[in-house]
Structure 1
Amino acid sequence: KRKLLLLAVSAALIIQSCKKAEPVTSSTEGPVNSVEKSSGLQNFSAPGEYGTYQLIAKENNKSGQISNFALNNYATGDVADYTGAAHQKFRITHIGNGVFKIMNLGSGKVLESYDYKGTQVLVQNSDKGTASQLWKLSPAGDKVYKAVNKASGLAITSNGTGITKLEAYTGKTTQLWGCNILAPDGYRDDVVVNYFHRTLASQGSVAFDQGSSIPLPDGRVLWVTEDAFDGSRITPNGNLMCGFFQYNNSILIQPTKTDWNPNNTPNMTIANSRHGRPRQIVDNQPNADVSWPGVGIEVNGYVYMHNAEIKFGGATTQSIIKLKVNPKGQDQWEVQRTLIKGVSDQSEISFISGMNKPGDGYVYVYGCKGVFFNANNIFVARFAESDPSTWTFWDGTTWAAKPTSAKAAVVGTSQSNVAIGYSKGKYVMMQLDLGYFCDPNPHGIYLSTSSSPTGPFTKPVKVFSIEDRYRGHLNRYYTPMVHPEFDNGKDELLLTYSINFGSGCEGVGDNNCVNNEQPSINYQVKGVRVPYSMIGM
């Protein structure tokens, strides 16, 4: 039994729905259908500069890609007609002296010359910084290049049937490639994905959904999970033993914003858990089946976090969880449940979509109300940083003492899966195409912005397509989250979403275990980076 089965219950559906490196730019960005029309590789003036490219085979003018939307290490490539999929786009980063790293946008992994049983083959792999992942890109004629691996000395070669391989360079047509610059685009962040791919019993929470983040003033970040499997359920090969999760929520404490080693991130614990689950931070209330905490914010030494107390088939109560911030190294925290007037005494608007502190003395909290199938109206409340227990609610004209779902109070609209963050002076709305059914199409991520907490928001821009798959079909996906605190120095915004096993397709259920195991990677948080330029920021 998995959480998405529980989401069939209406109350659960409400909660889940509602020198710096610089890119190289060109005045002629856009896909082409031949090497002759390509831009060529741009001039890189310094190490660390990068650009997004379409790679085109001279042999047949087809585009290089990672095959079958693969996201795993050691997947191979081929060539095909260009469709604009992220798996057909590559970030080429200048390392220096004509040597480059080539990252696939769809997977976030880099091209590598890999020794497979004594033969060098072309694969994708997580970036390890080795010579086998570096490529010498050299002109080999008019708008064509050869790509020779620094470690193996072999060149990327098409075999005439679409498959790409590695061979000694001889100058034949199948070894010549065009490079065509494209506009900056979103990509899967493999470092973040691997951070959440926790496969050791010692790592506490190893598989879960939600993934909201709460930055602390000392540089740590709290990652909030909902239903979570404990490391005691991990098998020696990193899979999950089949069965139910161990706790309904947990919190991971990332030591710094740049430390993406999962071994360095412990679980928060509590004392005197009423369920005997010290890693479940928010106890389930006597009249509820689960507690699902989510978005939160740090204010004056305390964390305030929205919590949904759900009785399946019954009512949902919204509480605010207050956590006293402990010093580093003290992982057992104090937890206090509070009820807020205008929030806890109503269920029409679920304030689950974001807590943001823009620096004007207030925290802005976004909520949603389902109005049609896969459609939300968005509302906003706020509280003063000096008085977190008193909330007021935007009614279209003023901040009122009571919430209203009247049309005048609507600050935006969205699909069911929505989150709102704050970055660079803008409120950023992230929404997903509905991901609860068999092979949804489209299956995109969209962003829009507003200069005001009360809207309006710009027209959504598609920034990425979700391609996670489970047994041949798209995973179910949900819980979008915006994480502006993770600045990678490239003017990009970090987004995450969760996937959850079964895809809703016939014969593909949540509990179709093999040898009493399921891959943990199919119930974990995934990361995407989006250039701010895609949304006019």
Structure 2
Amino acid sequence: MNSYMLVVSCLFLWIACKKSTNDGTTGPQTATRDSLFTEHFRRTKGWIAGDDGYSIRLTDGRTLWLWGDSYIDNYDAATRTIPCLFQVNNAGLLQNATNPADMATLLGAGKPASYFLHPGGWPTYWFWPGSGYQQGNTVYCFLDNIKTTGANGSFGFTSGGPNYVATIQFPAMTVQGYKQLPAQNGINFGAGFVPHPDGFMYVYGYKGDGFVGSKMYVARIKPDDPITSWQYYDGANWITDPTKAAPIASDGTSSFASGFKVGNKFALLSSEFSLGCTGKEIYAFTADQPQGPYSSRKLIYTIPEKAGDKYPFFYFAIGHPEFIDNQGLLVTYSVNGFLQCGPEVCINNRRDPDTYRPKAFRVPLSVLGAQ
């Protein structure tokens, strides 16, 4: 083999190796881990760790990140651990417009000091936040209404009834009040909001379908009236009866959590059912209109976190179209230890916060068919 052929062969070998890296990718035009953005959430003061992670870009350039169960302070620098039990059921992070590593923790005045305080009273009731949007000097945040069942363990909760909307005063970001949504047939609207030239705000919502699968729905509201202006898509028309809403996408083995617009495409994200520590995949569905029709699911990422042959319990694959760079769309997902099928994460009443922190990756817009 002459020197030229040797150089060419080495070049092709190097390219082949680059295409098979263990970072959730399998070739060109595929997703890649975003270690830099993941690092923004590795904090040691204020908000330390949490799950969910919806984001709302504000008109002054800041970003409001909304979290469910969260660990606040109590970080031990010597052991790099936190207590095993979280301190609040929800919290916010306000991200600086020019320095994304600069985030201020948002909490409330109650005990516990959750950012959103349920009118029904803790510990019987609490809120887990969904997404939201800004309209003028008000930020609307949709909240899952949660009630304890009194049972022990990680799943001792149920729905507390119709969900709520919180109003937040901009730019101070102080919570002003809560209004309850109408009953919506068990659909958790608040998985994403897309303003449309027709004057409506399109709202995505998900609903469990049996023990494993889920379905995604879409409705529309007037942005200044998120309580009484609801219209639900029934597969052909916009109607006012939520019991006749038709799913725009369904998946028998994964859970939807996010709907958004990226470029010229509307996209839905779901994550593989993972209670058995075997789920590892994140999927996308795309369409040209908010109501679809949507494509069949497409695998866009395989999470790299694992212990031996076990993958962590993970959920809430969320797209953040306000954070697009030359690597593509930012997507985050939540990890939450290994439940009972993997290594124990709570040792001597302390845990590594990385077992309960969001992870980030990037999806090229071409993977989603977006321009």
Q: Which TM-score tier does this pair reach, normalised by the shorter chain? A: 0.7 to 0.9
Give how far 1:289 is off. Answer: 3.1
1:207 equivalenced with 2:46 (yes/no): no
Contact 2:87–2:112 at 8 Å: present in 1 too?
Answer: no
1:334-373 pair list within 5 angstroms: 334-341=175-182, 345-373=183-211
Give how far 1:397 is off. Answer: 3.0
Listed as ranges, the gaps of 5+ residues in structure 1 are 1-34, 42-53, 57-62, 66-83, 88-104, 108-180
Which amino acid counterpart does residue 468 of structure 1 have in structure 2?
Answer: E
1:217 equivalenced with 2:23 (yes/no): no
Partner of 2:331: 495
Contact 1:211–1:525 at 8 Å: present in 2 too?
Answer: yes
- Give 3-state SS (helix, strand or coil) of 1:396's partner: coil
**How many Å separate the matches in 2 of 1:290 and 1:227?**
10
1:535 equivalenced with 2:341 (yes/no): no
Partner of 1:323: 168
Partner of 2:139: 303
Change (3 A) 1:384 1:106: same
Count residues in correspondence: 352
**How many Å separate the matches in 2 of 1:225 and 1:238?**
25
The higher-RCO structure (CA 8 Å, 6+ apart) is 2
- Deviation string 1:403-438 (CA, Å, 9 cap, x unpaired) is 1255xx221113224311111132111111112222
Contact 1:494–1:529 at 8 Å: present in 2 too?
Answer: yes
- Deviation string 1:21-58 (CA, Å, 9 cap, x unpaired) is xxxxxxxxxxxxxx8996947xxxxxxxxxxxx627xx
Return the index of the structure with the highest Cα Rg.
1
Change (3 A) 1:237 1:474: farther
Give how far 1:352 is off. Answer: 3.9
- Give 3-state SS (helix, strand or coil) of 2:367's partner: helix
Contact 1:298–1:304 at 8 Å: present in 2 too?
Answer: yes
Contact 1:191–1:260 at 8 Å: present in 2 too?
Answer: no
Partner of 1:3: none
Listed as ranges, the gaps of 5+ residues in structure 2 are 1-5, 150-157
1:261-280 pair list within 5 angstroms: 261=101, 264-270=102-108, 273-275=109-111, 277=113, 280=114
Contact 2:48–2:70 at 8 Å: present in 1 too?
Answer: yes
**How many Å separate the matches in 2 of 1:55 and 1:284?**
56
TM-score (norm 2): 0.86
Partner of 2:40: 195
Partner of 1:385: 223
Contact 2:215–2:256 at 8 Å: present in 1 too?
Answer: no
1:55 equivalenced with 2:23 (yes/no): no
Contact 1:470–1:503 at 8 Å: present in 2 too?
Answer: no
**How many Å separate the matches in 1 of 2:96 and 2:317?**
23
**How many Å separate the matches in 2 of 1:377 and 1:405?**
14
**How many Å separate the matches in 1 of 2:223 and 2:189?**
17
Which amino acid counterpart does residue 42 of structure 2 have in structure 1?
Answer: H
Partner of 1:463: 300
**How many Å separate the matches in 2 of 1:357 and 1:238?**
46
Which amino acid counterpart does residue 141 of structure 2 have in structure 1?
Answer: M
Contact 1:242–1:516 at 8 Å: present in 2 too?
Answer: yes
**How many Å separate the matches in 2 of 1:296 and 1:469?**
32
Give how far 1:460 is off. Answer: 1.9
1:259 equivalenced with 2:99 (yes/no): yes
- Deviation string 1:329-359 (CA, Å, 9 cap, x unpaired) is x46x133111123xxx245222142222244
**How many Å separate the matches in 2 of 1:214 and 1:38?**
48
